[in-house]
Each structure stands twice: as structure tokens, then as C-alpha cells.
Amino acid sequence: MPGPLDVFRDNALAGHVALITGGGTGICRGIAAAYARLGADVCIVSRKQDVLDIAAKELSAQTGRTVIGIAADVRDPEAITRAIAATVERFGKLDTLVNGAAGNFLAPAAALSPNGFKTVIDIDLNGTFNASRAAFEHLSKTGDSLILNISATLHYHGTPLQVHASAAKAGVDAVTKNLAVEWGRFKIRVCGIAPGPIAETEGMKRLAPGELTDKMTAGIPAARFGTIDEIAAAAVYLRSPAAAYVTGHVLVVDGGHCVATPALGMSFS
Ligand code: HXC
């Protein structure tokens, strides 16, 4: 019987089945790789089947596990329901849902169209609910399930040019807490990870292009961007028996970014 200190042992996730939205690229591809490396079978979901096919093939080759890709837009409840059903049909069950599909761009609120705001809410927030709702029936059958929602720290303060993403991620954190409360009795834990600036992600390419990278790094006490593997390690911990009594919690992994103050113009590097 695995104990709480066996988090990263070989085969820690043998027999597990995880579905990861946004798993074709970036942070969520890193989580897919980590779960598969520890023995899980994984379905990655995003909008583009060609991206998924390449990622699934590479992840299977790297980990020796079965990684499949199913195209679905999380904004479409029927499409994500079909993807989840196909995953259960293929692997026999579902233990873990990671809600990572997200959309973002820099836009001043005064110039952001209502549809631009709605689009990000639809992907991040409604997508998280759609997938969680569709997975509930399957997750409630395993006796040890996890929903892991990837949010951000944008909404802890006002963040310029990010009203759409901040509102969406605040909603995602609210979904984490509410589902944890409602679904605990079904043996479903619901947790979140709030990554700070993470290197080599689509998010940072969009939000901190060029010279903004140095400016942002100066405001991080750890004096660097985080890595995809550091988020994946948090996702492994939250999936493990070590976190069996952790639910409704959002784990911030940001090198201290969100607790630092820019007061007096100080930087940390
Ligand atoms: C202003 C924009 C815009 C931009 C799109 N829109 N890009 N408005 N500035 N740069 C507006 C459009 O004008 C349109 O409104 C509406 O948004 C929908 O745009 P579409 O292109 O039709 O939508 P769609 O094809 O569904 O694309 C969704 C998307 C896109 C979010 C806009 O960028 C996308 O699919 N991104 C996926 C990958 C991604 O963004 N990853 C980064 C996540 S980063 P109108 O009114 O014209 O119809 C992240 C990290 C956050 O989540 C935290 C970091 C610390």
C-alpha cells in the first residue's frame, strides 16, 4: 500500500487514468508527461488533432505508457463529454481530470470587445465547469479521484491588460472551492495550481514578450521564471497519497511573485 512519502516513486500512478485539457502543449503537456512517466495512461485534449497526434506520439515514446489525443473544444459541453466518454471506453475508468485549457492575450479593458472578454471566460471558466461536470459521473466511481484546475495569480491584485483572464481565473478558483465542498463525499478531491511566470509557455510568449521578460524577472523573489517541470511536480504531489487530505486548496507555484511588493521600486535580482 503506497504511503504519503512515496510521491515520486516509480509506478506511483500505475493503473491511473488521467484526462488533461490543454495537454498538447506547455504546462499541461508537462503534467501529462509527469503522470505518464509515473505509470498513468493519459488522454490529452485540445482543439487541434494534429498537435495532439504529435504530442501523444512523443509522450508515449518517452514514457512507455499509452497516451492518446482527442480533439475537443472545452467550450462545447457535448464535445468534452464525448472526449471523456471515449477515454473511459478506451481505458476503463477515469481517476484524474486536469483542467488546463486556457486562452489569453494582452488587451486594455477600454479596447477589449465584449466577445474578447467572453471568449476567455468561455475557455477558462466555462471550460473548467463543462469538463468537471462531464467527468463527475466517472470520477465518482473510482473512490480516489482528483480534479486539478490550473489557474493563475493574476486576480490576487489588479493586473493591467488582464481583466478578462483575471476574471476567468478568479472564477476557476471559485469552482475549485465549490466543487471540493460538494464532491468531497463522492471521494473527489478538487485542487488548483496557480502558476506564476513559467518559461517556455505560450502564456509567457503572449504576456511577457521581449524586454518585458527582464522587467518581470526583477519582480520575482526567486529571480527567475519557473519551469514546466516545477508545475508538473506540484501536480504529481496533489495527485499523490501525500495530498489525500488536501482539497479545495490552490497551490501557488510562483517563486514568491504574488507576495512581493514593488514598493520603493525595489527588485529582487
Ligand atoms: C484583443 C482579441 C485578441 C487580442 C482575440 N481577441 N485576440 N482582442 N486583443 N490580442 C478577440 C477577438 O477580436 C474576438 O472578438 C474574440 O477575442 C475571439 O477571438 P477569436 O480569435 O475568434 O477566438 P478563438 O479563435 O476562439 O481564439 C481564442 C483566443 C486565442 C484566446 C483569442 O488567442 C487562443 O485560442 N489562444 C489559445 C492559446 C492561449 O491563449 N494560450 C495562452 C494561455 S495563457 P471580436 O469582438 O473581434 O469578435 C494563460 C496564462 C495566464 O492562460 C496567467 C499567466 C501568468
Per-residue model confidence as pLDDT tens digits over 223-242: 999 999 999 999 999 999 99
Q: Ligand 1 centroid to 25 CA: how many Å? A: 16
Q: Is residue 193 part of a domain?
A: yes
Strand 96-99 to strand 145-150: parallel, antiparallel, or no bridges (unpaired)?
Answer: parallel
Q: Ligand 1 centroid to 165 CA: how many Å? A: 10
The count of other CB atoms within 10 Å of the CB of residue 134 is: 23
- Tens digit of pLDDT for each residue in 42-94? 999 999 999 999 999 999 999 999 999 999 999 999 999 999 999 999 999 99
The pTM of this model reads 0.97
Mean pLDDT of the residues in the chain: 95
Rounded to 5 degrees, φ, ψ at 147 are -110, 125
**Is the C-beta atom of 105 inside 6 A of ligand 1?**
yes
Q: Ligand 1 centroid to 75 CA: how many Å? A: 13
Closest of 266, 160, 175, 154 to residue 218, by C-alpha:
266
**Is the C-beta atom of 113 inside 6 A of ligand 1?**
yes
What's the CATH code of the domain at 34?
Answer: 3.40.50.720
Provide the number of structural domains found in the chain: 1
Q: What percent of the chain has pLDDT over 70?
A: 99
Tell me whether residue 105 is exposed, middle or buried, using C-beta atoms within 10 angstroms of its C-beta: 0 to 12, 13 to 18, 19 or more. middle
Q: Is residue 212 part of a domain?
A: yes
Question: Is 88 strand, coil or helix?
Answer: helix
Which atom, in ligand 1's list, is nearest to the CA of 206? 42
Give me the domain span that covers residue 61.
Answer: 17-253
Q: Assess contact for 141 and 186: CB atoms under 8 A.
A: no
pLDDT reading at 264 higher than 70: no
Q: What is the pLDDT of residue 1?
A: 67
Which atom, in ligand 1's list, is nearest to the CA of 120? 31
Q: How confident is the model at residue 30 (pLDDT cuts 50, 70, 90)?
A: very high
Q: Is residue 11 part of a domain?
A: no
Q: Is residue 12 part of a domain?
A: no
Report the chain's C-alpha Rg in angstroms: 18
Q: Is residue 267 part of a domain?
A: no
Give the closest residue (by CA) to ligand 1 atom 38. 103
Q: How confident is the model at residue 210 (pLDDT cuts 50, 70, 90)?
A: confident
Q: Is residue 8 part of a domain?
A: no
Q: What is the pLDDT of residue 10?
A: 86
Tell me whether residue 248 is exposed, middle or buried, using C-beta atoms within 10 angstroms of its C-beta: 0 to 12, 13 to 18, 19 or more. middle
**Is the C-beta atom of 229 inside 6 A of ligand 1?**
no
CA-to-CA distance for 189 and 90, rounded, in angstroms?
24
Cell numbers describing residue 102: 486556457
Q: Is residue 246 part of a domain?
A: yes
Q: Is residue 128 part of a domain?
A: yes
Q: Ligand 1 centroid to 207 CA: how many Å? A: 12
Mean pLDDT of 164-170: 98
